[in-house]
């Protein structure tokens, strides 16, 4: 069944394939265009560099008039990311606009990695360390980056095993 939200998601996907933004990728799941898997690579020259972070985006039939629910699946230590992976980002809440597409959402999240807003913390420890002890904050982030890479490799290996059977 084609609805305005589903047609828009198909356009977003086509645009992502034709003109992919640097450092992000996303695609709908095999059986549901309303649920997407995404990957954000940590931006260069930031504590998140070399990180490979998985996310999910869940859209409703109200998209693009309402934002998707976006969550990190990968473990994340960041002032604006909740323990459950939820993201505190203005464009996903009160500053949403129907002009935003999947690429804009993901590039905004990628920018947020290096430019957190510690005044609106979702993780108060990360916000406190970011403001008061940058070295310790970056140490915690480095551990997450390493974990993200190892988990990504394991997931890829598991996906390959499924294909081989």
pLDDT in tens, the chain (165 residues): 689 999 999 999 999 999 999 999 999 999 999 999 999 999 999 999 999 999 999 999 999 999 999 999 999 999 999 999 999 999 999 999 999 999 999 999 999 999 999 988 999 999 999 999 999 999 999 999 999 877 666 655 555 555 555
In 3D space, the residue among 87, 82, 92, 77 whose CA is nearest the CA of residue 42 turns out to be 77
Phi and psi of 21, rounded to 5°?
Answer: -70, 150
- Whole-number Å distance between alpha carbons of 87 and 59: 15
Mutual angle of helices 4-18 and 102-114, in 10-degree steps:
60
Q: Tell me how far CA of residue 6 lies from CA of 12, 14, 28, 161, in angstroms.
A: 10, 12, 11, 32
Q: Tell me how far CA of residue 36 lies from CA of 8, 71, 81, 119, in angstroms.
A: 14, 11, 19, 30
- Whole-number Å distance between alpha carbons of 82 and 127: 11
At residue 149, the pLDDT reads 75
At residue 120, the pLDDT reads 86
At residue 152, the pLDDT reads 63
- Whole-number Å distance between alpha carbons of 47 and 79: 13
The residues that are catalytic are 88
Residues written for the chain: 165
At residue 64, the pLDDT reads 97
């Amino acid at each position: 069944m084609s609805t305005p939200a589903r047609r828009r998601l198909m356009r977003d996907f086509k645009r992502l394939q034709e003109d992919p933004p640097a450092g992000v990728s996303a695609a709908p799941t095999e059986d549901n265009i309303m649920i997407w898997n995404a990957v954000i690579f940590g931006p260069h020259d930031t504590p998140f560099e070399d990180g490979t972070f998985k996310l999910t985006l869940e859209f409703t039939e109200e998209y693009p008039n309402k934002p998707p629910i976006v969550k990190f699946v990968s473990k994340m230590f960041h002032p604006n990311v909740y323990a459950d992976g939820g993201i505190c980002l203005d464009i996903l809440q009160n500053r949403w606009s129907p002009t935003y597409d999947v690429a804009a959402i993901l590039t905004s999240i990628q920018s947020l990695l290096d430019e957190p807003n510690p005044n609106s913390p979702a993780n108060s420890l990360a916000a406190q360390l970011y403001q008061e002890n940058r070295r310790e904050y970056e140490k915690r982030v480095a551990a997450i980056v390493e974990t993200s890479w190892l988990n990504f490799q394991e997931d890829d290996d598991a996906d390959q095993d499924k294909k081989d059977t």
